[in-house]
């Protein structure tokens, strides 16, 4: 390639080239771009192959399986108590929330119900898992859009919630605290008061992010109108949780299912947003974190006394049958379809994880958007790779 130093000649060539492109209606050569498997927006190892026309995506295809651990196969060769160790790791930021629907399904088959105190503490930990999970999203979304500060706030305040989890369960990320018929152990002394302080702190964190991001012009310009999921399309893809509530669907399993957990005894609100765009998804999650702190506060005030474990045999055998239980996890609807034939372990556990369906909409959603918006949309859909790959 020869380099011309005559600027007039260069301008002439550039003009000719521009004319030629205009004449064929700005046709450019397509590019295939691999986003991931190692990309901060993917929360793990999701790879998205996008076919670009200029800056615009014409076709996108997520490639999964880099973290497939075969949990559905592994559950078939384990006993029920051993399975909670596995399923902790599905959505590793929602740790405790993964255990609950499986334990509920096993309890349903066994006809066991945990005592009220256990249900209360379960609900508290469930909401704390939501807070620590969604807090990371609230900070991380800022990083994806170029604002570094929120993620530091998120990690700073989330640590307090994780410390509380560790104090009670012994595990920061993998509590393995839920048992068929109740809980592993009771709360430690002084935990309730400390938890109230942390909840207050988390509300302050939400206000901080509200100030930092929601009113920010750049944040709004980057998120408003980006990645709009219409209600009917979202439901057809099985999108759930905050993602579908941000599309105006007033559906929350904490309120709308017959769960034995204690949500019904609290006063709280299901937030929805009519827009369905990335901004709406962020907004809904921020409100939900606030609501979660309120739920925890109310449950701490009304925490009943009593045992934390129902009478169950040491070696647990679940009667034959099939049960489906689902809960409103931080990422959306998570459910387990447990098939038992009366043995020590289930013969089949279908794990319905939220992110799998939430991400299955991306080939449809990414079509026609610009490259920077791909990152916005992926960040706002909020998935955890372990929750996709299982």
Rank residues 98 and 144 by Cβ distance to another protein and give the closer one: 98
Rank residues 206 and 261 by Cβ distance to another protein and give the closer one: 261
3-state class (DSSP) for residue 292: helix
Rank residues 288 and 333 by Cβ distance to another protein and give the closer one: 333
Residue 363 CA to residue 367 CA, distance in Å, equals 7
Contact at 8 Å (CB) between 176 and 85?
A: yes
Least spacing, CB of residue 121 vs another protein, in Å:
22
Rank residues 223 and 358 by Cβ distance to another protein and give the closer one: 358
Rank residues 49 and 167 by Cβ distance to another protein and give the closer one: 49
Rank residues 162 and 344 by Cβ distance to another protein and give the closer one: 344
What are the counts of helices (DSSP H) followed by strands (DSSP E) for the chain? 16, 8
Least spacing, CB of residue 323 vs another protein, in Å:
8
Least spacing, CB of residue 135 vs another protein, in Å:
27
Phi and psi of 363, rounded to 5°? -60, -35
Cross-strand partners of 333: 328
Rank residues 79 and 149 by Cβ distance to another protein and give the closer one: 79
Phi and psi of 36, rounded to 5°? 95, -175
Contacts with another protein by CB under 8 A lie at: 64-65, 68, 70, 72-74, 76-79, 81-82, 108, 232-233, 235-240, 249, 251, 256-258, 311, 313-315, 317, 319-324, 326, 333, 335, 337, 339, 341-345, 347-348, 350, 352, 356-357, 360-361, 364, 389
Which residues are within 8 A (CB) of 140 and not within 5 positions of it... i.e. 6 or more apart?
Answer: 43, 150, 151, 154, 379
| Angstrom distances, CA of residue 300 to CA of 15, 198, 266, 318, 357 | 71, 12, 11, 32, 34
Least spacing, CB of residue 237 vs another protein, in Å:
4
Least spacing, CB of residue 345 vs another protein, in Å:
6
Contact at 8 Å (CB) between 223 and 279?
A: yes
Nearest to 71 by CA among 272, 352, 268: 352
Residue 186 CA to residue 206 CA, distance in Å, equals 29
Least spacing, CB of residue 99 vs another protein, in Å:
17
Least spacing, CB of residue 186 vs another protein, in Å:
17
Residue 138 CA to residue 245 CA, distance in Å, equals 16
């Amino acid at each position: 390639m020869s380099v011309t130093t005559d600027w007039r000649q260069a301008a002439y060539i550039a003009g000719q080239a521009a004319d030629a492109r205009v004449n064929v209606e700005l046709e450019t050569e397509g590019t295939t771009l691999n986003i991931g498997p190692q990309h901060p927006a993917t929360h793990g190892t999701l790879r998205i192959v996008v076919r670009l026309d200029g800056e615009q995506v014409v076709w996108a295809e997520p490639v999964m399986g880099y973290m497939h651990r075969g949990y559905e196969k592994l559950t078939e060769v384990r006993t029920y108590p051993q399975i909670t160790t596995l399923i902790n790791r599905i959505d590793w930021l929602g740790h405790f929330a993964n255990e609950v629907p499986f334990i509920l399904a096993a309890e349903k088959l066994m006809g066991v119900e945990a005592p009220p105190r256990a249900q209360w503490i379960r609900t508290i930990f469930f909401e704390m898992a939501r807070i620590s999970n969604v807090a990371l999203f609230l900070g991380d979304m800022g990083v994806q859009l170029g604002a570094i500060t929120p993620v530091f706030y998120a990690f700073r305040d989330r640590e307090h919630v994780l410390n509380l989890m560790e104090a009670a369960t012994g595990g920061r990320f993998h509590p393995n605290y839920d048992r068929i018929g109740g809980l592993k152990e009771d709360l430690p002394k002084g935990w309730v008061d400390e938890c109230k302080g942390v909840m207050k702190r988390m509300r302050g964190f939400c206000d901080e992010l509200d100030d930092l991001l929601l009113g920010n012009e750049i944040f709004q310009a980057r998120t408003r109108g980006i990645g709009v999921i219409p209600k009917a399309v979202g439901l057809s893809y099985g999108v759930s949780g905050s993602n579908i509530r941000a599309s105006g669907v007033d559906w929350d399993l904490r309120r709308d299912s017959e769960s034995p957990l204690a949500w019904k005894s609290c006063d709280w609100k299901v937030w929805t947003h009519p827009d369905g765009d990335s901004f709406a998804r962020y907004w809904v999650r921020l409100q939900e974190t606030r609501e979660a702190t309120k739920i925890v506060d109310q449950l701490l005030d009304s925490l009943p006394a009593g045992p934390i474990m129902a009478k169950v045999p040491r070696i647990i055998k679940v009667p034959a049958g099939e049960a489906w239980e689902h809960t409103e996890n931080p990422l959306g609807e998570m459910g387990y379809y447990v098939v038992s034939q009366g043995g020590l372990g289930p013969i089949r556990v279908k794990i319905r994880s939220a992110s799998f369906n939430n991400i299955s909409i991306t080939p449809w959603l990414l079509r026609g958007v610009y490259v920077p918006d791909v990152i916005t949309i992926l960040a706002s859909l909020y998935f955890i790779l372990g929750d996709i790959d299982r």
